[in-house]
Amino acid sequence: MDQMTLKANVYNINVSDFHWLIGEKYIFNSFKYLDHSIVSYTEKEIFGNIINVTVTTVFLRIFNLTSEDFNRNYTVAVKYDNRNLTCTYELPAEERPDTPRNLKVKLYGPGITISWVSKARKAVHYPVTFYIKYKSSDNDTWKTLMHKRHSQNSMNIFNLMENTDYYLVMYAENIFGKSNETDIMAIRTGKKKW
């Protein structure tokens, strides 16, 4: 995981100042931190009436995340309409990701589609990168492909050799470490269809 963004919504357009802190130490924009705000509008129901509300959202983007960025309190202090508002977030640490489960392979001639299931351990789930390693049965060198998780837990591997036995294994990784590898799966590719 490279970065994470914290945000706080203030239902007021008149935000005159805001700043982020770690504990009692001010955070300044740098290669590590970047703060900014955006004003938007939304509808809210209050006492049965729909009203338009102005929302100022203040953000803190944290770059180059490491394990030291977790288990800390991040506080945003906001000034608006002669008022002060503070909101504190704890960025909880998670554990290494679970090993991918339910590994399935569909053969398409000399290519394959591999799919899997991953499970978040906690309510806060940090991005996970999946690694698929494969090799032909007559080769000792594993090739590794990286799949950054988006909405889909599947990946295509093309241009494998026809009618060849392959071994596949995969694991997941986040900034807290690597999962265990899956059991090795053996497959045999087919022939090109043209």
Please give the pLDDT value at position 120.
Answer: 61
Q: Per the domain annotation, does 96 fall within a domain? A: no
Q: Is residue 194 part of a domain?
A: no
Structure tokens at 83: 């008022």
Note whether 44 and 86 are same-domain residues: yes
Asked whether residue 20 falls in the same domain as residue 65, the answer is yes
Clarify whether residues 163 and 84 are in a common domain.
no
Question: In sequence order, what are the beta bridge partners of 74?
Answer: 22, 89
Task: Specify burial of residue 191 (Cβ count, 10 A radius: 0-12, 13-18, 19+).
Answer: exposed
**Pairing outcome for strands 111-117 and 49-63:** unpaired
- Both 79 and 117 in one domain: the answer is no
Residue 23 and residue 55 share a domain: yes
What residue numbers bound the domain in which 78 lies?
A: 3-91
- 133 and 163 part of one domain: yes
CATH number, position 127: 2.60.40.10
**What are the pLDDT digits (tens) for 101-149?**
999 999 988 899 999 998 765 545 577 889 999 999 999 999 999 987 6
For the entire predicted model, the pTM comes to: 0.61
Answer yes or no: is 22 within a domain: yes
Confidence at residue 125, expressed as pLDDT on a 0 to 100 scale: 59
Q: Does 9 share its domain with 84? A: yes
Has residue 131 been placed in a domain? yes
On whether both 31 and 109 belong to a single domain, the answer is no
| Same domain flag for 170 and 118 | yes
DSSP 8-state class, residue 98: P
What's the mean pLDDT when you consider all of the chain? 88
Residues 75 and 143 in one domain: no
**Residue that terminates a domain, selected from 70, 91, 112:** 91
Q: Looking at the structure, do residues 110 and 70 belong to the same domain, yes or no? A: no
The H or E element spanning position 18 is strand 15-22
- Residues 85 and 106 both lie in one domain: no
Of 56, 72, 91, the residue at which a domain comes to its end is: 91
The closest of 56, 33, 29, 54 to 43, measured between CA atoms, is 54
For residue 150, pLDDT over 70 is answered with: no
Digit-coded pLDDT (tens) for 1-44? 578 889 998 888 788 899 999 988 999 999 999 999 999 988 88
At 169, the pLDDT band (50, 70, 90 cuts) reads very high
Q: What confidence score (pLDDT) does residue 151 get?
A: 61
38 part of a folded domain: yes
The number of distinct structural domains making up the chain is: 2
Q: Which two tokens stand for residue 165?
A: 């036995």
Of 91, 119, 147, the residue that ends a domain is: 91
Say if 193 falls within a structural domain.
no
